[in-house]
Amino acid sequence: MIYQFTVVVVLSMANFTRPLLVLGVLMVSFYQPWTLVHASAGLTSEENGGDLFLSCREDNDCVLTPTPIGEEVVTGQSSANAFQSETLTFEFQADPPQHHVALLPDLMALMEIDFKHQTEAGSLFRPALNARLILGQSVNEWSFEADQLPQTNPAPYVLEDEPLSLTGGRVLWEDEPLRLVLTFTLDRPGTWALNMRGASVVKLDVPWSIDAEAVDRDEPTSTTQPRSTQFEDLNVGALVGADHDCWAFEVETHEVLRLLVEWEQVPIELEQPHPVPDFITAAGRRAPAPEVLVDDDGSSVKMTYRWRALSTGDYTMCMHGSPGKVQPYTWSGAFGYEGLGPTDPTGFGSASYYPQGAALLGDLDDPYRLHGQGLALLLLSMVMLGVFLLVAMRPTTSYKLRLGLFVPGAVLLLVGGVLHPLWAMADEVQHEDEITLDTLIEMRLQQLWDVSADGVPDQTLSTHTGATWGMLDGEKLKLKLTVEEAIPLEDGRWQLLVPELASLRLDQAIFGQVAKGQTYQSDDGMLESQTVRFVLLAGRSLLLDLLMLEALLVVDDVPDSSVFHIETTMVATHAAGSIAAPAWGTRPEGISTAEWVRLQGSLFPDRISISLCDCDLDLLDVTFLPSSGFDLADLPQQWGLRNAVGLLPYGSVLMWLGLILGASATTMEVQRASRAQKLAEAYRSEGGQWA
């Protein structure tokens, strides 16, 4: 199909309009004929589907095209001066218009605008530019200052890897505006030129798009017009918006009937709800509630429904969509006989524990045991300090020993053995604004439960789901951890082992949050769609959050205490994971973007599969295959993790040095007193006083 759209080039001036200038713009020279082209519509994730070239086909007809077309340059004259500036506005709208549903990226890969202004004296300048990029309901605006000095060859206006504000949502729908508005402010007379044919371009790396009309291959189908098919055939369709897809087929003799529906992965904002399909007999009766198995492996969501011994005859199966959602699917059925099927609870593990150790890189066979600041050494130091002071203050004590050993030893013992551990014990106490790991997990699950509810804005759902540890941009994480062991790394650092992770049951924590939701089952006893969605989101998000935390618990030196504090502000960054379940979308501000991206790529698991069985006993399985490319080079430097510390870095060394000095002085004083007593006794014996 040939698309055509007209864009107006507007020229305006501060204070008044100059007819000659407007005429000059309208009489722009064009050197090459324009040819209509066939191109993909708007932004897509196909090859070069995110490239938007600035193109002008003729007067007042400038557009954004997927390939460079039209004129090579647009020129005009300006009679502006320092007192009366002129503004030159170009508006480029996508042609062909947006036809796909596309997921907008977090970053604009490149915007390059090649515009030059040559004065009457022959000098080249780059004037001020205000650029507005309109992507659906989101507007991004950038400003460039004008050159104050002439340039030999002015550089184009360039933005690379520029963050995009997606306040209107990450999804760009069909026929939504896709427009670039450029406003140049000229303050000198001369000739301006806007270079095109590839010289001026906007590039967006679109991660995902879909042609909703093309994938909706099941149409026409509805509750009144079900599409006839064979139950065991592979059927393809899509729920587009508030669509009703209905299929008619015959149910044959069976003991077990299985319906397998596989939903294609789509962005979390576009995912359709997945309630149990209506299974209706020819008499209009609904089949009883089936057993349901949901398996989310990150590439698709597979749902298996199982009924036992349904009546034979004609049936209609209907699936219902929601407005503003798009998701393709395939389905097929199978007739079988009683046995252990894929939804049998015995196929699930008895408990889904967090797989501790997936992010550990040290030697687990050589752990270093950590302890808190105990009272034993503090009491020993206080007792010995009292003994040393008692001995030192005796009138008979040598002044040399008192000042040379006792006083330095007492000072070192007081600082290193008393004040240092008291300071450390105070730092080991949980601060008023700190939380524990258990509290962090509870807060994260509550957050995911809230955003998985119906009616939550899509942008809110995506932002909260992808936030690392549930911490949004600008929020501060203050966490206290008690660590029992640390393992040595090959580069001399130490990785911490958190005991709570070894005994954490993901299924228990997640279903505990479901129980708090109270009304989590429908009238027929099935789990509500919010509950199913929450369980799948929580299983994946919680596992990835704890995996990232485990990887970042690295310190440079041997810990002095078993207590650690984390204090960091989280900032927004590019999310990892699938488009249906973004992860690690915020990072500690102490970790650079480059370090975080490298850590994301190497740490993200090779496979995560979350399986939910809506059976007599709700069960959850987490299948996890850790990344094989994670190594020491991917670990960032310090980022807000610190050990509870005492008054001085080497307090224990000072304590032992004080004990040695005090003990040495005491020993020398006792020996000196003993020799003096023996000498006195010998003197008295020689004088005959003891005869």
- Give the tens place of pLDDT for each residue, 454-464: 888 888 888 99
In sequence order, the β-bridge partners of residue 368 are 486
- Give the tens place of pLDDT for each residue, 127-178: 999 999 999 999 999 999 988 888 778 899 999 999 999 888 889 999 999 9
- Dump the DSSP string for 445-473: HHHHHHHTSTT--HHHHHHHHHSGGGPPT
Q: Do domains 9-208 and 213-343 have the same CATH topology?
A: yes
Given this model, what pLDDT does residue 601 score?
A: 92
Pick the CATH number of 213-343 from 1.20.1050.10, 3.40.190.10, 2.60.120.380, 1.20.1250.20: 2.60.120.380
Q: Do 360 and 495 form a contact (C-beta atoms < 8 A)?
A: yes
- Sign of the torsion formed by the C-alpha atoms of 353, 359, 365 and 369: negative
Strands (E), 69-156: 73-79, 86-94, 101-103, 107-119, 124-125, 128-135, 138-144
Given this model, what pLDDT does residue 678 score?
A: 73
pLDDT > 80? residue 20: no
9-208: which CATH architecture?
Sandwich (2.60)
What does the alpha-carbon distance between residue 426 and residue 371 come to, in Å, rounded to a whole number? Answer: 15
- Give the tens place of pLDDT for each residue, 533-582: 899 999 999 999 999 999 999 999 888 888 999 999 999 998 998 888 89
- Give the tens place of pLDDT for each residue, 70-104: 899 999 998 888 788 899 999 999 999 999 999 99
What does the alpha-carbon distance between residue 2 and residue 11 come to, in Å, rounded to a whole number? Answer: 29
Given this model, what pLDDT does residue 518 score?
A: 64
Q: What tokens appear for 558 in the block?
A: 């041997």
Cα end-to-end span (Å), the chain: 134
Q: What tokens appear for 3 in the block?
A: 């698309």
| Of 458 and 670, more confident | 458
> Any idea where the domains of the chain sit in the sequence?
9-208, 213-343, 391-426+650-686, 436-643
What does the alpha-carbon distance between residue 181 and residue 132 come to, in Å, rounded to a whole number? Answer: 5
Q: Which helix (H) or strand (E) holds 597?
A: helix 593-603
pLDDT > 70? residue 315: yes
Given this model, what pLDDT does residue 299 score?
A: 87
Q: How confident is the model at residue 332 (pLDDT cuts 50, 70, 90)?
A: very high
Q: What are phi and psi of 223, to 5 degrees?
A: -65, -30
Percent of the chain with pLDDT over 90: 48
pLDDT > 50? residue 446: yes
Q: How far is CA 154 from CA 112, 125, 147, 263, in A?
A: 13, 6, 9, 52
